[in-house]
Structure 1
Amino acid sequence: MSSLPKITESKIAIHAKKEGEKARKYWSEIFCGSACLVVVDSLGKCSGDNFDLVVINDSQELAPEELLLLEKMASDTTHFLVVVGSGDLETPSLCDLLGAEGTIPIAHAEWYLKSINAQNQPIEVAIYGKFHEIMPKTDTTTLASISVGYRDRPALIGRGNIFTFGVDIDLDQKVQRQLSRAFKELIFKDNTSNVGPFGVGVAGYGPYGGMGHYHGSACNATPHLKFVAIAEPNQQRRNSAKEQFPKIQTYESAKELIEDDEVDIVIIATPPITHFELASQALKAKKHVVVEKPMCLKVSEVDELIELARLNNVVLTIHQNRRFDADYLALKELIESGTIGEVFNIETFVGSFEHPCRAWHSDQEISGGAAYDWGSHHIDWILQFYGTTPSHLFVNSHKRVWHDVTNADQITISMAFQDGKEAKFIQSDVAAIRKPKFYVQGTKGTIQGWYRPLANDVVDFPFGYRSERFHHAEAPVDFEVVQYAIDNQTRSYRVSPTEVEPFEFHRNLAAHLVNSEPLAIVPSSVRGVIEILEATQRLSNSKEHYVQI
C-alpha cells in the first residue's frame, strides 16, 4: 500500500448519503487535525479534487457506477476507507475490489479492536456497532482484528490503496480519544515508523519520586521519546538519577543541558521563578520546550515565550498535567453534554488544616505566591470549562497562623464573567473541614464531588501498625449529579471518573512532533491562567481586593 501524507496535510472526504451531518461530526473527530474534511453524497464529487483519503461511511450506499469510479481513483493516488456498513459484502465486484471473499454478520455490541502499531506496540480500543467479520483473500493484509469466542476475527484489512472496516459504527456514540488515535495509527502508520527518537533532557531533577523521575519514566515509556539527560545542582540527586536511569548524562547546570546536541526537548522542572529565563535560553537554542506549571509568573513573559517559539520554529507547551485527570475529564464531559443545562457557577477548593511544607513551594519569592501552586490547575480547569477568561476579579487572602513561611495561609479568588457567570477558587492551609473539590451549578441541576483522601494501612514486624497517608488531592473524585425533574422533584445519580491512560501528555507531545497531531496544551490556552494568577498576587500583596482584567 502506498503511503498517505501526514494527517495535517491530508484532504479527507466522507461519502454519506443518509446521515451526512452525523457522519461528518463523527469522522471529523476520528481524523481530527486533518487539513480538510468535507461530506459528499456522490463519489463523483471527489474525483477531481485530489482527496488523499475518501471514507465510504456505508458500502451499501455505493451505486454500481460508483464502484467503477472507486476502482479508478484507488488505482491512482487516492486512498479509501470502506466501512462495510449496514449490510454484508455480497456484490462480487465490490468484494473483488476490496480483497474479500465476503463478510459474516456477528452482532451489534461493544467490541475491542486489536492491532499492533508501527512501533510494534499493541493497540486495544473499545468500539460500539455491528461487527461483520471480514473474510480476506490471500493478497490482503489484516491490520486489526476483534476477538470473538477467543478467536481473532479480521476487522480491518488493506489491499492496494483500499482499507476495509468491518464495524458498522454507531454514529451517535461519543468518539473516544483512544479510538481516534487507533485509526490514525493504523491508516497513517507509515508516516511514523522511521521517526525519532527525540532526546529529552530535564532541568531540575528534584528528590526521588519527583518530577525528574516522573518525566524520565514517562519519556522511556513513550514511543519516539528517549530520556537522555538531566541538569541538577544537587550532587546527591544527580547520583540518584544516574542510579535510576544509568544511560543518561548528568549535568550540574541547565546551560550544559541545553548545549547537549543529544537533547531535542528540554523540560523545565525547576522552581517557578526560574521558568521564564530557562525556557528563553532553551528556545533561543532551538530546542523544543516543555515548562512545568506555572508556565511563568507574568503574562508579559508568556507572550515573550510564545514569540520566541514562533521565531525559532520550535514547540512550546506547558505540563498542565491536571487536564488529564480522570475526574476533571468526567466533569468536563458532563458539562459539555448539557447534563445540568447551562453552567453559571463553578466553585473549586483544595486544602486542609496543616503546616505548609518548608520547601520553596511556600516562599512567594520563589513560587510566585500561594495562588501559583494549585491555582495553576484549578483556575485552568475553570477557564477550560467556561472557554473564556473573567472580566473582574475579587481576591481575599489571610496570613493568620503560619508565620515561618511567606505564602498566604488562605486565598480566595472570585471571578465574574462578562455574561454574568461566576466562579470561585479557594486554596487553604487553615481549613479543618474541607469543602467539595468541585461544586457546579447549571440551569437544570448541580454537580458536586468530594475529596476522598487515601491511606495505606499496614501491620508489619517489628513496628506494628503504620499508616501511610497520601495528599488528599491525588485520588480522583466521584460525582453526585442532581437534576431537576418536574413539580419540584429531583433525581440524583453518581458518575465515576473517566478511565485515563498514563503519560497522555507525553504521548501527545511525541505524536505532535512526529505526525503533527494537534498539541493538547498550547501556550495561548494558559495565558489567561497566568493573567489571573499575576493579578491575584498583586492584589494580595497590596491589600487591595478588586480589579478589572
Structure 2
Amino acid sequence: MTASVKLRGAVIGYGGAFNMGKHHASKMMGSGIDFVAACDLDPARAEQAKQDFPDIRVFTNVSELLAQPDIDLVTVITPHNTHAPLAEQILVSGKHCILEKPMCIRAEDADKLVQLASQRGLMLSVFHNRRWDGWYLTVKDLVNRDLIGDIFHMEMYMGGYSQPGTWWRSSKEISGGMFYDWGAHYIDYLLGLVPGKVQSVRGYIHNRVWHDVTNEDHIESHIQFESGAAAHVEMSSIARAGKAMIRILGTKGAVVVNNIGDSQMTLYSEVNGLKIETSVPCLKENHDAYYHNIADHLYNGAELIVKPEEARRVIAILETTELSALAGKELELPYEISLQEEQAV
C-alpha cells in the first residue's frame, strides 16, 4: 500500500480507563492513518467516541465493525483476557491488528496469533510503546557506544505497599495476574537489552495480605539466559521498602535508574584506571515513534519494530513465571527463539 492510498484505522474498546481509545486514535492520525471507526460495548462510551471524533462511525458490536470493508487496521484496547479472541476475529476478517499490551495471557494463544497473522499475510503488533522511553533509549545508546560492555545482570523493580486498584488491576481472571501490567513492559525492556535465548525461568509468588482481590501480592521472576546473563524482576503491592527501579551490570560499566520517569540516571565506569560515577541525562522519550513505524511498515514496507514473535516471548516469560512458582522449580521457556531466528523474523 502506498501513502497515496490512506490506511483506515479503528479501535475496539473506547472505555474510560486512561482515555486510551482517544489516545490511540490520535496517534493513528498523527502518523498518517485515517481514524474512521470505534467500537465499544457500552453505548455511552461509543457516543463519547462520536463526540471526540464527529466524522467516525461507531459500533457496539465487534462483528459489525469487522464487517466494514473500508477498515484496514484495528487496535484492541480491551481487558487482557479478551485480547486473544478479538485478535483472532480481526485477523480472520482480513484486517491488520494492534493489541494493547500485554499481547494476551497464555503463550499458546500468542503463538496461534503469530501463526495466523503469518498465514494470512497480515501485520500483528503489540503496543510496546515504552521501547521509546527516555531512560531506555539512553541505555541502548550507552550499550551501542560500548560504555557498559556485555550486560550480565539486571534487576528490575516496581512496587510499594498499597491495596491493588479496582477492576482488572485486582482480578486475575481479567488481567492474568499482577505481572501482566507493568511486568509486560519490564520483560520487553529486558529482552531488548539482553540478547540471546532464555534458558530458564524460576518464579515465586506470594498471596499474603490483600485477600479480597484475586491478583497476587508479590511476584519475582528469575530469568536465566543461555549466555549466562541473569535477571531478577520483582513486582509487589506489599513492599514496605523500595529500591531503584532498574540496576544494570555490564563488563565495562553499570547503570542505576532510580525511577524510569527521571530525567537522568547514574553511570558507573572506569577511565584510565579512574573510577567514575556520573549523572547521565536521559534522551527525550518518543512514544509517537510506535505508530509512525506502523504506518511506515504498512505504507513503505519498513521493518516492523515491535514484532509479534517478540511479544510472544514476553507472554511466555510472564506465564512461565507463574507456572514455575506453582511447580516449585525452574522451567524452560516455550516458543523461545534464538537471537539469529529473532533477527530473521
What is the TM-score normalised by the length of structure 2?
0.91
Give how far 1:538 is off.
2.1
Give distance in 1, aligned partners of 2:65 and 2:94: 13
Give distance in 1, aligned partners of 2:235 and 2:329: 16
Give distance in 2, aligned partners of 1:338 and 1:286: 44
Structure 1 residues 543 and 435, CA gap change in structure 2 (3 angstroms): farther
Give distance in 1, aligned partners of 2:83 and 2:248: 33
| 1:498 aligned residue | 283
Give distance in 2, aligned partners of 1:360 and 1:431: 21
CA RMSD after TM alignment = 1.8
| 2:59 aligned residue | 251
Give distance in 1, aligned partners of 2:283 and 2:252: 22
Alpha-carbon deviations, 1:284-329, whole Å to 9, x = none? 1110111111112222222211221122221111111111111111
| 2:176 aligned residue | 368
1:521 aligns with 2:306: yes
From the two aligned structures, give the one with the greater strand fraction: 1
Q: Decide whether the 8 Å contact of 2:8 with 2:36 is kept in 1.
A: yes
- Correspondence for 1:226 among 30, 34, 47: 34
Q: Decide whether the 8 Å contact of 1:448 with 1:480 is kept in 2.
A: yes
- Equivalence map 1:203-242=2 (5 Å): 203-207=12-16, 209-223=18-32, 225-242=33-50
| 2:319 aligned residue | 534
Letter paired with 1:261: P
SS in 2 for 1:391: strand
Structure 1 residues 231 and 476, CA gap change in structure 2 (3 angstroms): farther
Give distance in 2, aligned partners of 1:538 and 1:248: 44
Give how far 1:502 is off.
4.4
Give how far 1:399 is off.
1.1
1:199 aligns with 2:8: yes
Give distance in 2, aligned partners of 1:425 and 1:284: 36
Structure 1 residues 476 and 509, CA gap change in structure 2 (3 angstroms): farther
| 2:339 aligned residue | none
Unaligned ranges ≥5, structure 1: 1-5, 7-190, 452-472
1:478 aligns with 2:264: yes
SS in 1 for 2:331: strand
Q: Decide whether the 8 Å contact of 1:389 with 1:528 is kept in 2.
A: no
Structure 1 residues 438 and 292, CA gap change in structure 2 (3 angstroms): same
| 1:129 aligned residue | none
- Equivalence map 1:334-483=2 (5 Å): 334-451=142-259, 475-483=261-269
Q: Decide whether the 8 Å contact of 2:159 with 2:236 is kept in 1.
A: yes
| 2:117 aligned residue | 309
Q: Decide whether the 8 Å contact of 1:208 with 1:240 is kept in 2.
A: no
Unaligned ranges ≥5, structure 2: 334-345
| 1:9 aligned residue | none
Letter paired with 1:220: M
- Equivalence map 1:138-287=2 (5 Å): 192=3, 194-196=4-6, 198-207=7-16, 209-223=18-32, 225-287=33-95
Letter paired with 1:331: V
Give how far 1:497 is off.
1.7
Letter paired with 1:481: L
Give distance in 2, aligned partners of 1:405 and 1:245: 37
Give distance in 2, aligned partners of 1:255 and 1:247: 21
Q: Decide whether the 8 Å contact of 1:204 with 1:212 is kept in 2.
A: yes
Q: Decide whether the 8 Å contact of 2:161 with 2:238 is kept in 1.
A: yes
Give distance in 1, aligned partners of 2:131 and 2:90: 25
Hey, which bits of structure 1, 4+ residues long, moved more than 4 A?
Answer: none
Letter paired with 1:408: E
Give how far 1:383 is off.
1.0
Give distance in 1, aligned partners of 2:282 and 2:68: 41
Give distance in 1, aligned partners of 2:152 and 2:44: 50
Letter paired with 2:212: D
SS in 2 for 1:329: helix
Q: Decide whether the 8 Å contact of 1:234 with 1:252 is kept in 2.
A: yes
Give how far 1:545 is off.
4.3
**Relative contact order (C-alpha < 8 Å, sep 6+): which is higher?**
2
Bigger Rg, which one: 1
Give how far 1:486 is off.
5.5
| 1:546 aligned residue | 330
Q: Decide whether the 8 Å contact of 1:449 with 1:477 is kept in 2.
A: no
SS in 2 for 1:441: strand
Letter paired with 1:480: T
Letter paired with 2:310: S
Give how far 1:476 is off.
4.4
Letter paired with 2:293: N
What is the TM-score normalised by the length of structure 1?
0.58
Structure 1 residues 436 and 485, CA gap change in structure 2 (3 angstroms): same
SS in 2 for 1:519: coil
Give how far 1:500 is off.
3.5
Give how far 1:335 is off.
2.1
Letter paired with 2:251: T
Structure 1 residues 353 and 389, CA gap change in structure 2 (3 angstroms): farther
Alpha-carbon deviations, 1:73-101, whole Å to 9, x = none? xxxxxxxxxxxxxxxxxxxxxxxxxxxxx
Alpha-carbon deviations, 1:253-297, whole Å to 9, x = none? 222221122321011111111111111111011101111111122
Letter paired with 2:266: E
Give how far 1:337 is off.
2.2
Give how far 1:195 is off.
2.7
Give how far 1:208 is off.
6.1
